[in-house]
Copies of this chain bind each other. A is one copy, B any other.
Amino acid sequence: MSISEIEPLLEHFEKDISLSDSEKSQIASFVKIGNFRKGDYLLCSGNVCKETFFITSGCVRIFYRDQKGVEHTINFAIKDWWVSDIKSFITQEAADYDIQCLAGTEVIILPFEQQDQLLQAIPRLERVFKKKLEKALIVAQKRIVDGFSLTARERYLQFRDKYATVEAMVPQYMVASYLGITKEFLSKMKKELE
């Protein structure tokens, strides 16, 4: 890959650390570009998650399909976010989750083996990846607590507030599955809210 093609990723890294030109080309040599259409899967549960994706445009969701076939959205990801099934990626075992594009989506792909090499080549990046994990954990803990302490309505209002961009990009029934409620109930709630 050329440096210009992975500019969004470099900018993302440079929020936390600064990079020399040679480091930039090193990074470019470890990643590749992916282009996907709406509906495409970046990962299917049951397969091993062999790469992490950095979204440069579009929108994806990661979700779990339960025993009854009901889908539960774990997260949406848009521009400047990372996605993967982290458990599968780390252990290189079968994934529990699916990752699906909700629009035409461009990603920068960091394969498992290259991630190791990348971190060996530029150990300062450890900090960046660590921060990413910390942030994700804080958000996940908050979501657990919110699930316990807030009503569906309060969770929806909070979501609408914080993720307006996402709400505009995804079908309503996926928002419901992110909030942990049925699409019917979300529809009812939205009507009440006018």
What's the nearest-Cβ distance from chain B to residue A72, in Å? 5
Q: How many copies does the complex hold?
A: 2
In the complex formed, the residue of B with least CB distance to A65 is B149
**Partner pick for A144 among B70, B129, B144, CB 8 A cutoff:** B144
Question: What's the tally of chain A residues with a CB closer than 8 Å to chain B?
Answer: 28
Q: Which of A5-13, A131-139, A167-175, A184-192 contacts B (4 or more CB under 8 A)?
A: A131-139
- Among B72, B137, B148, B180, the residue within 8 A (CB) of A140 is B137
Taking the complex as formed, is A64 at the interface, i.e. its CB lies under 8 A from any CB of chain B? yes
Contact check: which of B64, B66, B130, B143 meets A129 at CB < 8 Å?
A: B130
> Which DSSP category, helix, strand, loop or mixed, fits chain A's interface?
helix
Residues of B within 8 A of A145 (CB): 64, 66, 72, 74
CA distance A134 to B149 in the complex (A): 25
A87 / chain B contacts, CB cutoff of 8 Å: 138, 141
Cα A130 to Cα B136 in complex, Å, equals 13
A64: contacting residue among B64, B90, B149, CB under 8 A: B149
In the complex, the answer to whether B137 meets A74 with C-beta atoms within 8 Å is no
A36-75: contact bitstring with B at CB < 8 Å (1 yes, 0 no)?
0000000000000000000000000000101100101010
Name the CB-closest residue of B to A66: B149
Residues on B with beta carbons closer than 8 Å to the beta carbon of A137: 86, 133, 136-137, 140
The CA of A66 and the CA of B143, in the complex, are separated in Å by: 13
Kindly list chain B residues whose C-beta atoms are within 8 Å of the C-beta of A140. 137, 140-141, 144
24 contacts between A and B (CB under 8 A): A64-B145, A64-B149, A72-B145, A72-B148, A72-B149, A74-B141, A74-B144, A74-B145, A86-B134, A123-B123, A126-B126, A129-B130, A133-B133, A136-B137, A137-B140, A140-B140, A140-B141, A140-B144, A143-B144, A144-B144, A147-B147, A147-B180, A148-B177, A148-B180
